[in-house]
Structures are given as C-alpha cells and as structure tokens.
Amino acid sequence: MNKNLYKVEQKRDTNGICIPKYDNYVIPTLDKTAPASKILNSKQDLSGKKFTVKDAFGRDVVMSADWIAGFTDGEGTLTININKNTTLTYKFQIQPVFIIVQGEADYYLLTAIANFFGCGSVTVNRKDKTSVRYQYRVNNLELLTNIFIPFFDKVSLLTKKKDEYFLWKDLVIEHRNKTNLDSWPNSMVAFLEKAKLWKCLGTQTKQTESYIKTCDKYIEIVKGIPSENIERLK
C-alpha cells in the first residue's frame, strides 16, 4: 500500500502557516463550521461521536468513543519523549505523543481514528521485506491538551494505562503551560522525576532503564543552568 502523505509537525509552522491559510476553509473531519484555529485552541467534546467505516473485507465497523478508548487501552501509547537537543537552553526536548501502531491490514482503523479526532497523521512506522506497519501519531501540544485530554478525561481508560494516563496528562499540561520552568531548577527537576515515575508504571524493559538514566542525566544538567537563562523561555 503506497501512501503519499503531507505532514506538518512543527508548532511554528502549524500556527504561522497552516492555520492562517485554513481559517478560511472548512475542516470536514471534526467540526464543519469551525476554522482550524478554533479546532486547535478550543476544547472538543467527542464523547458522543459515532460513525461507521468499512473494514478490509467491506464489513461495517462502528467507531465510537468507547471503542476508541478500548482500542487505546490495548494498542495505544501515551508517551513523553525526552530527546537530546543541544540547540535548546536546557539541552533536551520534551515531546508528548499519542501514538497507535497497526499492521497494513488495519490501516483503515488508523485513518478512521484520525477522522474521529480530526487531527494527526498516519505514516509508515516500520517497513521490511515482508510487511509494513503504520502509525497514527499526534504530538502537537495544543491538540493533545484541547482534544485528547478532555476526551480521555470523559471516556476513561480501563487498564493500568489509566494510571499512566493521569501522570501523562499532568506532564503534558505542565509542559504546555511552562510550569516546569517556573521555579528553576526545582520545577524541571520535579518534572523529570515525574516523567521517571510515569515510565515505571508501564512494562519494564531495557528502554525503561535507558529512559530513567536519560532523565537523571538531564536532572544534573538542569541543576547547573542559571535561572536567568530560563527567564526568556517563559
């Protein structure tokens, strides 16, 4: 399955280029009367949304809020990436992400979920000689804050992922509101400690150990950065 995709992930491009262009056009997937800036910056209630899609065999599948929550319980990932970025003042980048990965046969589910939320991208996650896996991905802070958090607050997850969600939610909101910069360096140290706790709630793997070591490394870096260097970021 070949898909040609256009994707914009940088907030500056979304806010500075895409939104001004699309404010004058209809966005058909989420709210047919809402301009792009309204979708991005206002909370959406999708808890009652429901529609039908065709599966790979032409059968009807009803997509509902409860179905999305259940599917996320089993297949979704709510993550907080902490990545090295030496161009930033504190030398690392914080990137919250909502992601679901599926095989080629279930590509239609990912596009249906993207249609349900009215945002996000569906791209190749991994490809080899025998198979292709696709991912539905959203990492825009405003979308995560205004669409996904209200959704999962209202349509609750049921597995242990529910506990992960509450910590993930706190981290997303703190990062979005920049409260992790307020009382430097203590606020960022607390943020990274909470990120470690969030990671430990999930399945313990080698990646868990690596993530904790990464957070510990940046905690030490953060402690050495003067607060006056952070003021301009607030």
Degrees, nearest 5: CA angle 134-135-141:
160
Residue among 77, 98, 79, 70 at smallest CA distance from 158? 70
CATH at 228: 3.10.28.10
Whether residue 198 is contained in a domain is answered as yes
- Residue 155 included in any domain: yes
Q: Is residue 6 part of a domain?
A: no
Residue 204 forms part of a structural domain: yes
With contact defined as beta carbons under 8 Å apart, do 40 and 143 qualify? yes
Q: What sign does the dihedral 124-127-130-131 (CA atoms) show?
A: negative
The interaxial angle of helices 186-201 and 161-177, nearest 10 deg, is 160
Question: Would 1 be classed as within a structural domain?
Answer: no
Rounded to 10 degrees, the C-alpha dihedral 77/83/87/88 comes to 70
Question: pLDDT (tens digit, 0 to 9) for every residue of the chain, 234 residues total?
Answer: 444 555 666 656 666 666 555 444 434 344 433 444 444 445 567 777 777 877 777 788 788 899 999 999 999 999 999 999 999 999 999 999 999 999 998 998 999 999 899 899 999 999 988 889 999 999 999 999 999 999 999 999 999 999 999 999 999 999 999 999 999 999 999 999 999 999 999 888 899 999 999 999 999 999 999 999 888 777
Asked if 146 contacts 169 with a C-beta cutoff of 8 angstroms, the reply is: no
Q: Which domain holds residue 25?
A: 11-233
Full strand arrangement of the beta sheet holding 132-138: 76-84, 92-103, 132-138, 121-127
Residue 4 forms part of a structural domain? no
Of the chain, the end-to-end C-alpha distance in Å amounts to 44
Does residue 5 lie in a domain region?
no
Our count of domains for the chain comes to 1
Is residue 39, in this structure, part of any structural domain at all?
Answer: yes
pTM, 2 dp: 0.78
